[in-house]
Amino acid sequence: MSDYILELNNITKNFPGVKALDNANFKLKKKSIHALLGENGAGKSTLIKIITGVYNQNEGKLFLNNQEKSFSSPNEAMNAGISVVHQERNLIRRFSVGENLMLTNLPKNNLGLIDYNTVAKESKKWLDIMELDIDPNTIVSDLTVAKMQLCEIAKALSLESKILLLDEPTSSLSPQDTKNLFALLKRLVAEQDVSIVFVSHKLEEVFEICDEVTVLRDGKNACESEQITNLNRQKLVKLMIGRDEQIIKSKKDIDFTDENLLDLQSINTDLGHKNINLNLKKGEILGLYGLVGAGRTELIKCVLGLDKINSGQILLNNKEIKIKSPKDALEKYKIGYISEDRKKEGLILMHDVLSNAGITVWSNLKKILSFLNDRIVYNKVDPYVKQLEVKTPSYQQIVSNLSGGNQQKISVAKWLASGTDILFIDEPTVGIDIKTKSYLHELIIELSLKGTSIILITSDMPEMISLADRIITMKDFKVVGETINNHSYEEMSSSIMRNIHE
Amino acid sequence: MNNKIPNFVKTNQFGLLILVIVFICIFSFSTDGFTSRFNIYALSRVVALDIMIGLAMMVVILTGGLNLSLGALGVSAAMFGGWCMESMGIPISLTIILVLAFGSFLGWINGFVTVRTGVHSFIVTLATMSIYFGFMTLLTEAEAFRKLPEAFTDFGSLKLFNKYISPLLIISVLTCFVLYYIFKYTDIGRKLIAAGANPDAAELSGISVDRMFIYCHMLSGFLAALAGIMLTARIGAAIPSMAGHLGFDWLLPAFLAPVLGGTLLSGGKVTVFGTMLGAILVTLINNGLYLIDVGEFWVRFFLGIILLGAVLLDRAREYFTVKNSIVS
């Protein structure tokens, strides 16, 4: 089977309490572009980390050019010709392009000092292969995002990589940049004998560029090296989520002529938001869609008083308010924020379930002289923890020992307990299993039906179209479009993408 | 499997308690006079101070920070108290209140500057240590206050419980109970711990983290000032050099007690009674080694080794996650 440059057979990887990969197979043909798909938590990133030597598998074998290999470090994988281009840039921003490209093997002159002429010459060679018109002496931070991405690919090539793993390479690229990138990838495959593993959530791109597809679901293969020509969008989604794509329609009629509950008027912020106008009705789920870096989370943080609003005003029930801090938002205006980053901002991982679920209500529950015991907190939060079906052995369990889905439920539970009127919900289902995900979707709809007004940030288009009543599109810290959601995937997604790309 | 073993046995404090008992046994057998009434009384006077200093450091370590100005702050507060009583003739009770307020104020400066500049409290308190001590030396012209009211100095040499225990120790133990209560049973205590454990998450959950950090520094100043008063009562005078140059003599016990006790250096976990046991252990070793007559330098050497060991222990604790409760 010399067809395959990389072959992973029956890979199993266990983490404490979770089987991240269960007998998974992955075969990469020489000179092909292979899509690796799956929902968050399906095992994609674990598989990539095994390929790149970050993890070792518990069972199964890895063959490179038909030779069994086992990498004990990312460095070994890199030396064997496997490079990853991450979503986050791995370039050193204050170094020049040339220095970054040659970083692992900087040429030296007779005195042992760096020979900058050779650096420029050598790196120019790789930039030329990619037909990139960049001066090797340019400082990386002066490049556009798209150029940085391309430099990273150049860096991978300079390491004589034969296998490139691209992790969501287009998430921050414009359509034109994406097109250029794809043309380049096709050329690399044809001319440089490179094989590519392509990870993306954008199925349109998979159909455009990939030859074969492997889908993971719950750590197992939902399909293995399927020809792209045998698939269509519906089939692919079904493989990924295990059932047909459901668009839950929230059965409610928002009267968009109602008074605004929350109204942002011509907001300009320190972070660069320009003239943001948006409003939220009572009981509405307002979606904020945009690419990574569109400034959605940042906008919410400015509203919460964490960063400065330079001009414009915020109205609550038509009265101007000034929110100085999240404490202010919670205690004075009953506004809460469920963070996208539950590990860093949502939860206190080293503390137990009870103190995490109760943190927002301590102030309200305290008795005379600030007295507060576990019983009082427990009585308050228990109904919400039960309602969300959090699976934990006890309230004394340290949160970091729980699964991602249960952690997320706790970071939601604490805001339910706080009884806020307005909730900002940021990427509520990143990295959690499908069951919890649909559970949270139902919960968000239920909340809004009971009168909580919600601003929902999500980069998951189906999620957005299932849940939102109205969708605001943001790009480059500006609002670029507003659409009333009719819950039809095709119509809404093309209308949103049009907003973004015009 | 091991649920027959009571939880207490698995805690850090239990290990400390065993160590304390082991050292008591060793020193009782290997030295003369360790168990004498005189020595136990002397020990109780020293340990009282070490506990208080340890607690003062603990409440700042809770924030993931440090308070290097602890000694300088405590001595400055003590000198202020001496001046109040000797030069101004202010009554003892009012003086104590003023001194504690003064200590809290100096702590507030530490906290305020730390929070506002975003500079690590290590640097901030390194600077204020010098400032407080320098200012104090300037104002007092390095002169001691030796003519303190008798009622005050008598308290420091009072002997209770068949003349075995100093009342200073009772103050320290009571302080432990009060702090335990605050951290375990009050809204504000919970918020202090949450802010220390994960400032970002606490802030987004509606806790004013800056204010909590300032409270921690104020509490530290308060406890250091209390330690200063206690030391003044013990010596019978307020002396600028009573905690060494820049208050350095306090720093080693200040770190040792909470770190041995199980307070995480990265913040977010306090152990009030662990700190108490830690302080007792340090005092015991100190005292025992002197009685064995190994010499001043060896004592310092051993305490340094213990601190390093305790820090390694702290690392290990972070690895094997904190399974104990947050307050203990």
Write down the architecture of domain A4-241 according to CATH.
3-Layer(aba) Sandwich (3.40)
In a domain, B107, yes or no: yes
User: Nearest 5 degrees, angle CA A134-CA A136-CA A142?
Assistant: 65
Which among B3, B180, B205 is the top mutation candidate for probing chain A, defined by the most A β-carbons within 10 Å of its own β-carbon?
A: B205
Q: How far is CA A24 from the centre of its chain?
A: 23
Interface touch B198/A359, C-beta < 8 Å: no
Kindly report, residue by residue over A112-150, the tens digit of the pLDDT.
888 888 888 888 888 888 777 888 888 888 887 778 888
Q: Do B206 and A352 touch (CB under 8 A)?
A: no
* Contact between residue B104 and residue B225 where contact means Cβ atoms under 8 Å apart: yes
Q: Is the pLDDT of residue A296 over 50?
A: yes
Q: Is A365 left (phi over 0), alpha (psi -120 to 50) or beta?
A: alpha
Please tell me chain A's helix, strand, coil percentages from 3-state DSSP, rounded to the nearest 5: 40, 25, 35
pLDDT at B6: 60
Q: Do A362 and B321 touch (CB under 8 A)?
A: no
Q: How far is A285 from chain B (nearest CA, A)?
A: 21
The answer to whether the beta carbons of residues B111 and B216 sit under 8 Å apart is yes
Edge to edge, the sheet with strand A59-64 lists: A18-29, A4-15, A59-64, A67-69
Residue B149 lies in domain? 34-247
- Pull the structure tokens for residue A367: 């008795």
Burial class (CB in 10 A: 0-12, 13-18, 19+), A44: buried
Q: How large is the ipTM?
A: 0.81
Q: Is residue B72 part of a domain?
A: yes
Number of domains forming the structure of chain B? 1
Q: Which residues of A sit within 8 Å Cβ distance of B?
A: 304, 306, 325-327, 329-331, 336-337, 339, 344-352, 355, 359-360, 362-363, 365-366, 369-373, 396, 398, 400-401, 414, 418
Determine, for residues A347 and B201 on separate chains, whether the beta-carbon distance falls below 8 Å: yes
Q: What is the pLDDT of residues A409-467, one digit of tens each?
A: 999 999 989 989 999 999 888 767 666 777 888 889 988 988 899 999 987 787 888 89
Task: Assess whether pLDDT exceeds 80 at residue A27.
Answer: yes
Name the band, by pLDDT with cuts 50, 70 and 90, for residue A40.
Answer: low
Residue B14 included in any domain? no
* Residue in this structure with the two tokens 């020990």, named with its chain if needed: B43
Rg over alpha carbons for chain A, rounded to the nearest Å, is: 25
pLDDT greater than 50 at residue A364: yes
Residue B323, pLDDT score: 47
pLDDT band at B158 (very low <50, low <70, confident <90, very high): confident
**What residues of A are in contact with residue B188 (Cβ under 8 Å)?**
370
Strands (E), A99-184: 163-167
Per-chain mean pLDDT for chain A: 85
Q: Range with the lowest mean pLDDT among A36-45, A299-308, B313-322?
A: B313-322
Helices (H) and strands (E) in chain B, counts: 14, 0
- Residues of A whose CB is below 8 A from B189: 370
For the residues of B245-256, what is the DSSP string, one character each?
A: GGGGGGHHHHHH
- Whole-angstrom Cα distance, residue A417 to residue A360? 8
- Confidence band for A172, pLDDT divided at 50, 70 and 90: low
Break chain A into its structural domains and give their ranges. Answer: 4-241, 257-334+421-431+451-502, 342-419
Q: Which of A67-76, B5-14, B85-94 shows the lowest mean pLDDT across its residues?
A: B5-14
Residue B88, phi then psi, degrees to nearest 5 = -100, -15
Q: Is the confidence at residue A34, as pLDDT, over 80?
A: yes
- A169-173, A212-216, B19-23, B41-45: least confidently modelled range: A169-173
Report if residue B308 sits inside a domain. Answer: no
Give me the residues paired with residue A484 across strands. Answer: A470
CATH 3.40.50.300 fits A257-334+421-431+451-502, yes or no: yes
Among B187, B269, B271, B317, pick the best mutation site for testing chain A contact (most A Cβ within 10 A). Answer: B187
Q: Is A117 exposed, middle or buried (0-12, 13-18, 19+ CB in 10 A)?
A: exposed
Task: Kindly state the DSSP code that residue B145 receives in the 8-state scheme.
Answer: B
Residue B229 domain flag: yes
A303-328 mean pLDDT: 92
Is the pLDDT score of B104 beyond 90? yes
In this prediction the pTM is 0.77
CB contact under 8 A, A351 and B203: no
| Mean pLDDT (chain B, rounded) | 88
Cβ of residue B269 closer than 8 Å to a chain A Cβ? yes
Whether the CB-CB separation of A21 and A13 falls below 8 Å is answered with: yes
Q: Please, what is the Cα angle at B170 between B164 and B174, to 5 degrees? A: 155
